[in-house]
Amino acid sequence: MHEHPLLAPLNDKQREAVGADERHMLVLAGAGSGKTRVLVHRIAWLIQERGLSPHSIMAVTFTNKAAAEMRGRVEQLLGSSVRAMWMGTFHGLAHRLLRAHYMDVGLPQNFQILDSDDQQRLIKRTIKSLNLDEKRWPPKQAQWFINAKKDEGLRPHHLDGYDINERTFKEIYDAYQVACDRAGLVDFAELLLRAQELLRENRHVREHYQRRFRHILVDEFQDTNTIQYAWIKLLSGVGQETEHNNYVTIVGDDDQSIYGWRGAKVENIHQFLRDFPNVLTIRLEQNYRSTNNILTAANEVIANNDGRLGKELWTEGASGEPIDLYAAFNEMDEARYIAGRIEQWNEHGNALQDVAILYRSNAQSRVLEEALLHARIPYRIYGGLRFFDRQEVKDALGYLRLLASRNDDAALERVINTPTRGIGDRTLDIIRSGARERGLPMWEAAKQLVHEKVLSGRAGNAVKAFLDLIDQLEDETADYPLGRQADTVIKSSGLMAMYESEKGEKAETRVENLKELVNACDNFNTLDDVIEDDMTPLNAFLAHAALESGEEQADAHQDAVQLMTLHSAKGLEFPLVFMVGVEEGLFPSQMSLGESGRLEEERRLCYVGMTRAMQKLVITYAEQRRIYGQERINRISRFVGEMPPEMLNHVRLQATTKHHSPALGRFHSGASHQAFEETGYSLGQRVRHTKFGEGTVLNYEGTGPQSRIQINFDDVGSKWLVVAYARLERC
């Protein structure tokens, strides 16, 4: 019937989308309904059936990994390379645009990307240089302010600064931007904003790309922000004086919009329908990912949100097992339980890489890691601290960046006295203010100050030696392949020696990481997808180091469990999923509790988490948890209450002998929940004692007359009491 191989593995609705005439299209559908699959097949279809060149297609994905996978899938379907196709994240594509048109936007050719950490440092210095009090104007808040404004497309002069807060942050934004421009640095939000300004202000550039990109396709559209939307619209030519035959396809799910806190606007879906003419809207309703139990429970949870676009989602698949719900005593018990479950899974011949542990906050991973280590289960953290964000790696990259661009103030600040070479804070301050006064990058200012003997004596010599070192390193390594260049720089700068002379395991890891960086340079393939031919290998590598979002670490070959936040699990799927820490105050997060909009976003996150699971979902929560350095007693998350009870299986551990388990740390393990319930008290319950006052039930052990209960009293702290004598009142 549908013999076309690109359409055969699709359902009717999917076929309609993939084979549609060239027009604007919205594919709106719930999780696991094949939106991403449609995008892949659509691209292949356009090339194969419509005869489009890959050159005329741009596809936007949420992560670099997703982009690489998508390219691979398309190539597999077509049996040919699609290198000419632009495919990547918004940031990656913006970077590419800016590189090609750096002059039009007033950037130096070798401009560098400022990551979020370096951005914060630079903002901190800016605040200091403005003589503002850092306590009153925290760098983190200023960073948040600046990025939020940029995401909305606002420059300092767009801000009115009515009140003192806005006025001051505006002043910081302004000074920070001047510093960035002087140093040829572009932060993440700036990549998007500059690229948008480029397209808006330069008609010839805009029209060039409008002619080129006949089709633009965007995955996970519900999480685009204002600037990203503006970008797509500019490239499409819609609403402009000369319209082109360009078509935009967006796929998304309003129920999976989880980046509102970072400026994403789910309303962009409505905006798209208003701005673009003649949109074909397709809804996919069949889910191919999850068992019916998982899907139904997820649907029930998300049904509690208001103002949804509304979607039905069903599956032909089996009902599957119920969702397991485990109530842990504390986070260590939780972690240990999970490790145990994974061991079983593995013993039954299942792969570890088919397992994901999803948590709300990165801070939860440490305890989980410990339990996995203890159980000797290999794991990988996806999106954790990136390799390129480690201190020693950033030091080395600092030198390399300075070789690539002397103007890079952030890099210069980082390495000028690492390892120590007698350039102290005072000297650095002189260079900083010299740079500000003269409107020069620090490198240039330092050079002048030494030349004019403003910097003289030991300090002057030290600075001169540093400047010479960098120049000489560049001369020496100019013709080296990348790996050798990095190796030489790491050694000649004294960085390697510095870390080698440090003691301890940590120092050893640092030395290994430096060597690994050389490896990474050796293996870096400049012909690889996103990297363009117009860059030097060094610049290409530096861009890669800044834009790679830590996903690659998860790609190593060993079979390993994957740990990640719920946010970074978007778009992925795993046979077995643990959703952990499902507690009020953690998930939904404390900050979302007072605001219905944010609470709904947490609920969408819950929906995203649940729908990652294909066969089995295990939900865990801890009645007591130490997190962010605080002990907390938690109630189970309201989201669990929103799931149909008949689909939940409350896991009860067998009552075992009461021994003190080291893995459980401060707690007695093995107390059976059932026995506990016999006392009529439950964990987390509030009680009153005649002498000690009010408190919360923490733990329980023993049976009958011996049974004891642990209570954390508000005034006197935690105590074990014999239940029979305690004469507690419930409150």
Question: Which region among 34-42, 150-158, 436-444, 647-655 touches ligand ATP (by CB under 6 A)?
Answer: 34-42
Among 2, 5, 9, 659, binds ligand ATP (CB under 6 A): 9
CA pair distance 692, 727, nearest whole angstrom? 11
User: According to the binding rule CB under 6 A, does residue 35 interact with ligand ATP?
Assistant: yes
- Choose the catalytic residue: 150, 214, 510, 612: 612
Among 32, 383, 384, 434, binds ligand ATP (CB under 6 A): 32
The whole-angstrom distance between residue 229's C-alpha and the CA centroid of its chain comes to 20
CB of 592 to ligand ATP, least distance (A): 22
* Total residues found in the chain within this entry: 731
Radius of gyration of the chain (CA): 29
User: According to the binding rule CB under 5 A, does residue 257 interact with Mg ion?
Assistant: no
Q: Please report how many Cα atoms fall inside a 13 Å half-sphere around the Cα of residue 113, on the Cβ side.
A: 25
In a 3-state reduction of DSSP, which class is residue 226? helix
Residue whose CB is less far from ligand ATP, 183 or 284: 284
User: According to the binding rule CB under 6 A, does residue 223 interact with ligand ATP?
Assistant: no
Closest CA to 379 of 541, 203, 558: 558
> Is there a catalytic annotation at residue 256?
yes
CB of 191 to ligand ATP, least distance (A): 24
Q: Which residues pair with 721 in a beta bridge?
A: 709
Among 144, 288, 314, 480, binds ligand ATP (CB under 6 A): 288
CA pair distance 373, 363, nearest whole angstrom? 17
Among 263, 571, 585, 588, binds ligand ATP (CB under 6 A): 571
Among 13, 28, 34, 408, binds ligand ATP (CB under 6 A): 34
CB of 28 to ligand ATP, least distance (A): 10
- The residue with tokens 């200091």 is 128
> Is there a catalytic annotation at residue 219?
yes
380 touches which of ligand ATP, Mg ion, none (CB within 5 to 8 A by kind)? Answer: none
> Is there a catalytic annotation at residue 36?
yes
User: According to the binding rule CB under 5 A, does residue 571 interact with Mg ion?
Assistant: yes
CA pair distance 30, 21, nearest whole angstrom? 24
CB of 649 to ligand ATP, least distance (A): 24
All residues at 6 or more sequence positions from 576 whose CB lies less than 8 Å from its CB, including other chains = 345, 350, 354, 355, 356, 613, 615, 616, 618
CB of 298 to ligand ATP, least distance (A): 11
CA pair distance 572, 565, nearest whole angstrom? 12
| Long-range Cβ contact pairs of 119-127 (< 8 A, separation 24 or more) | 119/143, 119/187, 119/188, 121/410, 121/413, 122/176, 122/179, 122/180, 122/185, 122/409, 122/410, 123/172, 123/176, 125/179, 125/413, 125/432, 126/172, 126/175, 126/176, 126/179, 127/172
What are the start-end ranges of the E strands in 524-604? 561-565, 574-579
The whole-angstrom distance between residue 452's C-alpha and the CA centroid of its chain comes to 47
Binding mask 31-60 for Mg ion (x = CB under 5 A): ----xx------------------------
Q: Is 34 annotated as a binding residue?
A: yes
Binding footprint of ligand ATP, residue count (CB under 6 A): 18
Binding mask 231-260 for ligand ATP (x = CB under 6 A): ----------------------x--x----
Phi, psi of 17 (to 5 degrees): -70, -45
Q: What dihedral angle (degrees, nearest 10) is formed by the CA atoms of 23, 256, 369, 501?
A: 60
Question: Which region among 33-41, 150-158, 168-176, 395-403 touches ligand ATP (by CB under 6 A)?
Answer: 33-41
DSSP state of 277: S
> Is there a catalytic annotation at residue 220?
yes
> Is there a catalytic annotation at residue 286?
no
Among 33, 89, 196, 224, binds ligand ATP (CB under 6 A): 33
Q: Is 549 annotated as a binding residue?
A: no
User: According to the binding rule CB under 6 A, does residue 291 interact with ligand ATP?
Assistant: no
> Is there a catalytic annotation at residue 515?
no
Distinct helix (H) and strand (E) counts, the chain: 27, 21
Distances (CA, A) of 131 to 126, 141, 432, 710, 728: 9, 17, 14, 52, 58
CB of 251 to ligand ATP, least distance (A): 7
252 touches which of Mg ion, ligand ATP, none (CB within 5 to 8 A by kind)? Answer: none
User: According to the binding rule CB under 6 A, does residue 37 interact with ligand ATP?
Assistant: yes
289 touches which of Mg ion, ligand ATP, none (CB within 5 to 8 A by kind)? Answer: ligand ATP
CA pair distance 73, 320, nearest whole angstrom? 29
- Choose the catalytic residue: 256, 477, 611, 710: 256
In a 3-state reduction of DSSP, which class is residue 496? helix
Q: Is 68 annotated as a binding residue?
A: no
SS (HEC) of 365-383: HHHHHHHHHHCCCCEEECC
CA pair distance 287, 299, nearest whole angstrom? 12
CB of 311 to Mg ion, least distance (A): 14
Question: Which region among 118-126, 170-178, 520-528, 563-571 touches Mg ion (by CB under 5 A)?
Answer: 563-571
In a 3-state reduction of DSSP, which class is residue 503? coil
CB of 355 to ligand ATP, least distance (A): 16
Q: How many CB atoms lie within 10 A of CB 724?
A: 12
9 touches which of ligand ATP, Mg ion, none (CB within 5 to 8 A by kind)? Answer: ligand ATP
Among 13, 99, 150, 289, binds ligand ATP (CB under 6 A): 289
Residue whose CB is less far from ligand ATP, 31 or 185: 31
Residue whose CB is less far from ligand ATP, 123 or 301: 301
480 touches which of Mg ion, ligand ATP, none (CB within 5 to 8 A by kind)? Answer: none
CB of 40 to Mg ion, least distance (A): 10
Residue nearest Mg ion by beta-carbon distance:
36
Q: How many CB atoms lie within 10 A of CB 308?
A: 13
- Choose the catalytic residue: 220, 254, 255, 409: 220
Question: Which region among 25-33, 446-454, 490-498, 585-593 touches ligand ATP (by CB under 6 A)?
Answer: 25-33
Residue whose CB is less far from ligand ATP, 70 or 323: 70
Query: Between residue 502 and residue 521, which ones bind ligand ATP under the rule CB under 6 A?
Result: none
Q: Please report how many Cα atoms fall inside a 13 Å half-sphere around the Cα of residue 103, on the Cβ side.
A: 1
Q: Is the peptide bond before 378 cis (omega within 30 degrees of 0)?
A: no
User: According to the binding rule CB under 5 A, does residue 252 interact with Mg ion?
Assistant: no
CB of 60 to Mg ion, least distance (A): 13
Annotated binding site: 29-36
Binding residues (CB under 6 A) for ligand ATP: these are 9-11, 14, 29, 31-37, 253, 256, 288-289, 571, 573
Give the residue numbers annotated as catalytic, written as ranges: 35-36, 219-220, 256, 612
Annotated binding site for ATP: 29-36
Binding residues (CB under 5 A) for Mg ion: these are 35-36, 571
